[in-house]
Structure 1
Amino acid sequence: MKFKGIIFDLDGTLVNSLEDISDAMNVVLTSLNHPTHTYDTYQYFIGSGLRNLVSKALPASNNTDEQIETCFESMVDEYRKICTLKTKPYEGIIGLLDNLVSQNIKLAVFSNKADELTKKITAEIFPDYFQNAVGLSTEALKKPNPFEALEISKGWNLKPEEILFVGDSDIDMQTAINANMFPVGVSWGYRTEKELIASGAKTVINIPLDLIEIL
């Protein structure tokens, strides 16, 4: 079957946003006199939305729902200021997107990052490449819930099985499977190839242009 559309995860797949996310959360932790974390540690906090990241970053003794919500709001305020300061596309991503556009492949972003921030980062870093950029608007629709991915496929008038779902985490692979899309893992993100295969990736690519071979 010819694939006609691709849905990409954002963080760890299209862009390396680790430092901006980590820096914003560490500002909040420092303001509360809590211990901060290294970039390597934050690598394993990313993937299930910023609220979940906040919960993981807070000390166990300060992890009530109320404290998480307060810190989440502060973290988003900080992150909004710097979300494209250090965040850059991975090497080869722009070339890949240019190639895909030339083939008239439909392109979308689906992230567990807040919808406002997903749209902001996608628009600033990747203007004119994506037909859709969808982030998290309500916890119930967070990946691996396939709802938003299926809505994108409906909007494109494509069957789910005509779409590649590309991401760097187990959450992305589970989303692809739940949506009946073809799960493609990327090895340059925040998780290992072993984790991606175990989570259902049909294949794992090592450089962006490898995606062209799958098409």
Structure 2
Amino acid sequence: MKFKGIIFDLDGTLVNSLEDISDAMNTVLKGLNYPTHTYDTYQYFIGSGLRNLVSKALPATNNSDDQIEICFECMVNEYREMCTVKTKPYEGILELLENLNSQNIKMAVFSNKADELTKKIASEIFPNSFDTAVGLSTEELKKPNPFEAVEISKNWNLKPEEILFVGDSDIDMKTAINANMFPVGVTWGYRTEDELKNSGAKAIINNASELIDIL
């Protein structure tokens, strides 16, 4: 079957946003005199939304629901101001998107990052590249819930099985499977190839241009 659309994860797939996310959270932690974390540690905090990241970053002794909510609001405020300071596309991504656009392949972004921030990053770093960019609006719709992915397929008038779902984490692969889309794992992001394979990836790519081969 010829694939006619692609849904991309954002962080760890299209852009390396690790440092901006980490810097924002560490700013909040420093303000509270809590221990901060390294970029390597934050690599494993990313993927399930910023609220979940905040929970993982806070000390176990200061991890109540109220504290998480307060720090989440502070973190989002910090991150909103710096979300495109160090964040950059991965190697080959801009060329890939240009190639796909020339072939009239439908493209969208679906992220567990807050919807406002997802749209901001996608529009500023990849202007006019995507039909839509959808982030997290409510915890109930967080990946691996496939609802938003299926809604994108409906808006495109495509069957889910005509769509590639490209991501760097187990959550992305599970989302693809739940949506009945073709899961493609990328190895340049925040997770390992074994994790991608074990969570259902049907294809693994090591550089952006390999996605054209799958199409």
TM-score, normalised on structure 1? 1.00
Q: Distance in 2 between matches of 1:154 and 1:132?
A: 13
Give the Cα separation in 1 of the matches to 2:10 and 2:112.
9
* Deviation per residue, 1:139-170 (Å, 9 max, x gap): 00000000000000000000000000000000
Q: Shift of residue 84 of structure 1?
A: 0.1
| Cα distance in 2, alignment partners of residues 67 and 48 from structure 1 | 18
The corresponding residue for 1:187 is 187
Question: Residue 39 of structure 1 aligns to which amino acid in structure 2?
Answer: Y
Answering whether residue 45 of structure 2 is matched by residue 50 of structure 1, we say no
Asked if residue 23 in structure 1 is aligned to residue 23 in structure 2, the reply is: yes
1:127 alignment partner in structure 2: 127
Q: Which residue of 1 aligns with 2:210?
A: 210
Aligned to 1:149, the other structure's residue is in SS state helix
Match of 1:6 in 2: 6
Aligned to 2:107: 107
In 2, Cα distance between equivalents of 1:33 and 1:8: 37
Deviation at 1:203, TM superposition (A): 1.0
For residues 33 and 200 of structure 2, the distance between their equivalents in structure 1, rounded to whole angstroms, comes to: 40
Q: TM-score, normalised by structure 2?
A: 1.00
SS at 1:111 equivalent: strand
Superposed CA RMSD in Å reads 0.3
Question: Which segments of 5 or more consecutive residues in structure 1 lack a partner in the other structure?
Answer: none
Runs (5+) with no aligned partner, structure 2: none
SS of the aligned residue for 2:130 comes to coil
| CA apart distance, 1:106 | 0.0
Give the SS at the match of 1:134.
strand
Q: Which residue of 2 aligns with 1:68?
A: 68
1:155 paired residue number: 155
Give the residue type in structure 1 aligned to 2:34.
Answer: H
Matching of residue 146 in structure 1 with residue 146 in structure 2? yes
Q: Counterpart of 2:189 in structure 1: which amino acid?
A: G
SS in 2 for 1:6: strand
What does residue 198 of structure 1 align with?
A: 198
2:23 aligns to what SS in structure 1?
Answer: helix
Q: What do the CA deviations read for 1:18-42 (whole angstroms, capped 9, x no partner)?
A: 0000000000000000000000000
Distance apart, 1:59 and its partner CA:
0.4
Alignment deviations for residues 37-64 of structure 1 (CA, whole Å, 9 cap, x no partner): 0000000000000000000000000000
Give the letter aligned to residue 201 of structure 1.
A
Q: Which runs of 4+ in 1 moved over 4 A?
A: none
Structure 2 CA distance for aligned equivalents of residues 94 and 81 of structure 1: 24
The amino acid that maps onto 2:4 is K
Q: Between the two proteins, what is the percent identity of the paired residues?
A: 82
Cα offset, 1:79, TM superposition: 0.1
Taking the aligned partners of 1:186 and 1:105, their CA distance within structure 2 comes to 19
Aligned residue for 1:116? 116
Instruction: Quote the Cα distance in structure 1 between the aligned partners of 2:62 and 2:166.
Output: 35
Task: Return the alpha-carbon distance in structure 1 between the equivalents of residues 181 and 203 of structure 2.
Answer: 13
Amino acid in the other structure paired with 1:154: K
Work out the CA distance in 2 between the residues paired with 1:201 and 1:23. Answer: 31
CA–CA distance in structure 2, aligned partners of residues 53 and 73 of structure 1: 12
How far apart, in 2, do the equivalents of 1:42 and 1:75 lie?
14
